[in-house]
Amino acid sequence: MSLSAENVTCLRGDRLVFRDISFDLAGGQALWVRGRNGAGKSTLLRIAARLLRPQAGRFFWNRTDITEDDEPYHGQYHYIGHQEVLKPVLTVAENLSFWAEFHGQGKASLEQAIEGFELGALRDTPAGLLSAGQKKRTNLARLLASPAPLWILDEPLSALDTHFIDLFRARLSEHLKAGGLALYATHQDLGIDGSQELDLDAGGGA
Amino acid sequence: MAIDLHKYANPRRFLAITSAIYPWSLALTVILLAAGLYTGLFVAPPDYQQGETVRIMFVHVPAAWMGLMIYTFMAVASAVGLIWKHPVADLSAKAAAPIGACFTFLSLVTGSLWGEPMWGTWWVWDARLTSMLILLFLYLGYIALWQSFDDPSKASKAAAILALVGVINVPIIKFSVDWWNTLHQPASVATMSGPKIYSSILTPLLIMGLAYTAFFVTLLIIRVRAEILARRLRILQLSELQER
Amino acid sequence: MKAFFSLIARDLKLAARQGSAVALSLCFFVIVIVLFPLGVGPEMTVLARIAPGVLWVAALLACLLTLDRIFQADYEDGSLDQLVIGPLPLSFLVLAKVIAHWLTSVLPLIIIAPVLALSLNLASDGVIAVTFALLIGSPTLSLIGAVGAALTMGMRRGGVLLSLLVLPLYIPVLIFGVAAVEAAVAMLPMAPHLLLLGGMSLGALVVGPLAAGAALRLALE
C-alpha cells in the first residue's frame, strides 16, 4: 500500500497556493502536513481526497498513476474535513450506520466505531444535541464505521479534550500498525512514531 | 515554474488571427449592412396586403435567425471548452451571449412593431414570438449564471453545462410552443410566416443575414479580445499582490 | 446498489423527521391555487376552463421552491463531499437524490392535486388526467431541477437565479401536461400527450444526472 505525489501545484482562481509538492508514503506511515494559516494544508488534503484537481503534478496509489483515472483509488480512503457531516435529526448510531451502509458495511463495523470512540452512551442521542467535541468524535468514528487503508485528516484534534486526543492517537497508531496510511494536518505534533513531515511554509517537497 | 500562469491570458495565436480578420469583418459588416438595408428598404416591392410595413421583416427575421444561431454557437463553444479545455472557447461563449441576447431582443421589438399594423396589437402570443421570448430568458439565465461566480474558470464550466442543457431543450421548446400555438390560435388570425417568399424579398433577407453574421463576428472579436486583456490585467494585479 | 438505496432511505428518513418542509410546500401549492378563484372570480365555467393550467403552473412553482433541498443541506454540512468521494458514480448519486426529492416533495403534490382539481370544478375525466399527467411529467421537473440546483448550489441569491435557469426549461412539460388534461376534458385521446411527457422524462433521465453530476463536481472545487 502506498500513496505518492509528484510536483503537485495548485491554483485557486488565479492565485498560486503552493507548487511542486512531493511526498512518498508507504503502508504503516503517516505524513504530518504543517504550515501557517493559508499555506494550503486543507487544499492539499482536499486534493489528496480527489475533491479538488491540482493544476499540475501526478498522484500514485500503489504505484499506479491515478492523476487521470482514479478508479483504483476509489473507496481506498477516508476524508475528515472541518465540517461535522452530521444530520441533526438523526441519532449518532443512525448517522454512523448510514455511512457504514453507504460504504457497503454491516452492523459489526458500526459497533466497532461506537466502541472505538467511546460513543456508547450517546448512541441514541440526536446529533443536533451533541457538544462540539462529541460531534467531532462522531465524525471521526466514520473512520472505523467502514475500514479504508488511507485516512486523510484535516485538523482531527480540534474541539477534543486531552483524554480524547489520547484516544484518537491510539486509534491512529492501531491503524498505522495494521499497515494503514495517514495524511494529517494539525497545529500540534501528534508524536506518531516514524511520521514524515511536510512543511508547506518551506515551499518544497518533504 | 511547473505550469504557465499565463496560459489562460495569453492565447497569442488567437490575438494574431483575429487582428488579421478584424478589418475585413468590419468592412464586410458596413458593406453588407448598407446593401441589405438599401435593397430591403428601397428596392424590394411593398407587400400588396401589408404595404410598406413589411420592410420591418428585413430587420426582424435575420435578427431571429441570429438569436438561434448564436445560442448554437455558444453551445458548440461551450462543448469545445469543456472537452478540450480551450480557454478561448469559454471566453467566446461568454462574449457571444450578450450579443445573442441583443439580437433576440431586437427580433422581439421589431416583431412587436410589425404586429401593431398587422394585428392592431403590440403583442400576440404567436408561436415564433413566444419561442424568441423563451430564448431571451435562456440567454438571460446564461448571463446571470456567469455573473454569479467570482472565479472565472468555475463560471465558464457552469455556464457551459447550462448552455449544453439549454441547446438540447431549444428544439423541444420550439416544437412544444409551435404545437401549443396551433392548439390555441383561432385559424383566422394570420401567422407571422409572412408573405410568400419571392426572390425580390429573399435576396435582401439573405444579405441582411450575412450582414448580421459579419457584425456578430466583428463584435465577438472585440469582446473576446477585451475579455483576454481583462483576464491578463487580473493576473498582473494578482502576481503583484503575491510579490508584496 | 446498496449505497444507492441506503442514500434514498436516509433522505426519506430525514424528510419524515423534518415533516414540516413537506407540509410547507403543500401549503404553498394549495395557497397558489386558492389565489386564482379569488383573482378571476368564482364563476365555475371560467375556473373549469383555467383549471389545468392553474394546477400545472402551481405544481411547477411548488416544485421549484423545493429544488434547493436536493443538495443544499448536504452541501452545507459537508455530507456532499463524503457522498461524492464515496462508491457511487456521480450520476447515480444525483439520481438517488432526485428520486428522494420526487418522493418527498413532488409526490405529495400529486396526491392532493385531484382534490384541488375538484375545487376548481374540473370535470372528472380531467381530474384523472391531471393526476396521470403529473405522475408522468413531474420526474422531468425533478431531473432538470437537479441541474439548476447543482449549478446554483452555495450561491447567496441562488433561489432567484435557479428560477430563471429552470423555468424556461419547464415550458414543454407545462404545455403538454396542460394539453393532456384539456384533451381528456374534451373527450379526445390523451395518450399522445402522456407519451410525449413520458419521452421527456426519459430524456431528462439521461441528460439530468449527467449534467447535474458535472455541475456538482464543479461546485465542490
Alpha carbon distance B233, B127 (integer Å): 45
Q: In this predicted model, what pLDDT tens digit does every residue of C62-79 receive, in sequence order?
A: 999 999 889 999 999 999
Domain identity same for A112 and A164? no
C-alpha cell read off for B229: 486583456
Q: What pLDDT score does C37 carry? A: 92
Highest averaged pLDDT of the listed ranges A14-18, B186-190, C93-97:
C93-97
Nearest to A104 among C2, C13, C14 (CB): C2
Beta strands in chain C (DSSP E): none
Which DSSP string do the residues of B50-96 spell out, in sequence order? TBGGGGGHHHHHHHHHHHHHHHHHHHHHHHHHHHH--HHHHHHHHHH
Alpha carbon distance C114, C130 (integer Å): 7
Residue A122 placed within a domain? yes
Q: What pLDDT score does A52 carry? A: 87
DSSP B46: P
Question: Which domain covers residue C38, as residue numbers?
Answer: 2-220
pLDDT at C136 over 90: yes
Q: Do C200 and B158 touch (CB under 8 A)?
A: no
B168 by Cβ neighbours in 10 Å (0-12 / 13-18 / 19+) ranks as: middle
Q: In this predicted model, what pLDDT tens digit does every residue of A144-173 receive, in sequence order?
A: 999 899 999 999 988 888 899 999 999 999
Alpha carbon distance A163, A173 (integer Å): 15
Q: In this predicted model, what pLDDT tens digit does every residue of C6-24 receive, in sequence order?
A: 999 999 999 999 878 888 9
Q: What pLDDT score does A98 carry? A: 94
Q: In this predicted model, what pLDDT tens digit does every residue of A187-200 receive, in sequence order?
A: 888 877 778 888 88
Report long-range pairs for B166-169 (Cβ below 8 Å, ≥24 apart).
Answer: B166/B71, B166/B75, B166/B138, B166/B141, B166/B142, B166/C169, B167/B71, B167/B72, B167/B74, B167/B75, B168/C203, B168/C207, B169/B138, B169/C168, B169/C169, B169/C172
Q: What pLDDT score does B10 carry? A: 57
Order across the sheet with A181-185: list the strands. Answer: A77-80, A150-154, A181-185, A30-34, A196-199
* Averaged pLDDT, C30-51: 92
C residues 163..202 contacting B (CB < 8 A): 164-165, 167-169, 171-172, 175-176, 179, 200
Q: Count CA within 13 A, CB hemisphere, residue C132.
A: 21
Alpha carbon distance C70, C59 (integer Å): 17
Could you tell me which chains touch chain A, where touching means 3 or more CB pairs under 8 A? Answer: B, C
**Which of these three, A147, A175, A190, is where a domain ends?**
A147
Domain identity same for A9 and A20? yes
pLDDT at A30 over 60: yes
Q: Do A13 and B151 touch (CB under 8 A)?
A: yes
Element spanning A6, H or E: strand A2-12
Is A58 at the interface with chain B, CB within 8 A? no
Query: Which of C144, C156, C164, C188 to mutate to probe the B interface, most B CBs <10 Å?
Result: C164
CA distance C142 to chain A (A): 23
Residues 6+ apart with CB under 8 A from C34: none
Question: Which domain covers residue A104, as residue numbers?
Answer: 86-147
Domain identity same for A140 and A154? no
Domain identity same for A95 and A119? yes
Which DSSP string do the residues of B176-227 spell out, in sequence order? HHHHHHHHHS-TTSPPTT-S---HHHHHHHHHHHHHHHHHHHHHHHHHHHHH
pLDDT band at C90, cuts 50/70/90?
A: very high
Task: Report domain extents, chain B.
Answer: 25-185+193-239
* Averaged pLDDT, C139-146: 96
Domain identity same for A5 and A29? yes
Domain identity same for A141 and A158? no
Q: What pLDDT score does B191 carry? A: 45
Q: What pLDDT score does A13 carry? A: 67
CA distance C169 to chain A (A): 30
Nearest to B2 among A12, A13, A20 (CB): A20
Going by C-alpha positions, the residue among B133, B141, B76, B83 that lies closest to residue B104 is B133
Low-confidence ranges of chain B (pLDDT < 70): 1-10, 184-198, 242-244
Nearest to A79 among C3, C6, C85 (CB): C85
pTM of the model: 0.88
CATH number assigned to the domain comprising residue A189: 3.40.50.300
Other C-beta atoms closer than 10 Å to the C-beta of A120 total 11
Based on the structure, what is the number of domains in chain C? 1
* Averaged pLDDT, A74-82: 90
Nearest to A50 among C83, C85, C88 (CB): C85
Residues of C with CB below 8 A from A74's CB?
Answer: 87
Residue A169 placed within a domain? yes
With the C-alpha atoms ordered A67, A70, A72, A75, is the resulting torsion angle positive or negative? positive
Going by C-alpha positions, the residue among C199, C189, C29, C190 that lies closest to residue C117 is C29
pLDDT at A202 over 80: no
Domain identity same for A115 and A135? yes
ipTM of the complex: 0.88
Could you tell me which chains touch chain C, where touching means 3 or more CB pairs under 8 A? Answer: A, B
Roughly how many angstroms between the first and final C-alpha of chain B, as a whole number? 19
Cβ atoms B129, B123 nearer than 8 A:
yes
Residue A203 placed within a domain? no
Residue type, B198: Y
The pLDDT mean for chain A works out to 88
B42 by Cβ neighbours in 10 Å (0-12 / 13-18 / 19+) ranks as: exposed
pLDDT at C109 over 50: yes
Alpha carbon distance C118, C122 (integer Å): 5
Domain identity same for A154 and A52? yes
**CA nearest to B235 within chain A:** A14
Q: What pLDDT score does A40 carry? A: 87
Q: Do B2 and A14 touch (CB under 8 A)?
A: no
Query: Which of A55, A77, A85, A135 to mutate to probe the C interface, most C CBs <10 Å?
Result: A85
Domain identity same for A71 and A163? yes
Alpha carbon distance B169, B171 (integer Å): 6
pLDDT at C204 over 90: yes
Fold of B25-185+193-239: Four Helix Bundle (Hemerythrin (Met), subunit A) (1.20.120)
Element spanning A30, H or E: strand A30-34
Domain identity same for A71 and A32? yes
Residue A81 placed within a domain? no
Q: Do C176 and B176 touch (CB under 8 A)?
A: yes
A37 by Cβ neighbours in 10 Å (0-12 / 13-18 / 19+) ranks as: exposed
Report the percent of chain A where pLDDT is more than 90: 48
List C-alpha distances in Å: A11 to A44, B150, B238.
11, 14, 12
Q: What pLDDT score does B195 carry? A: 47
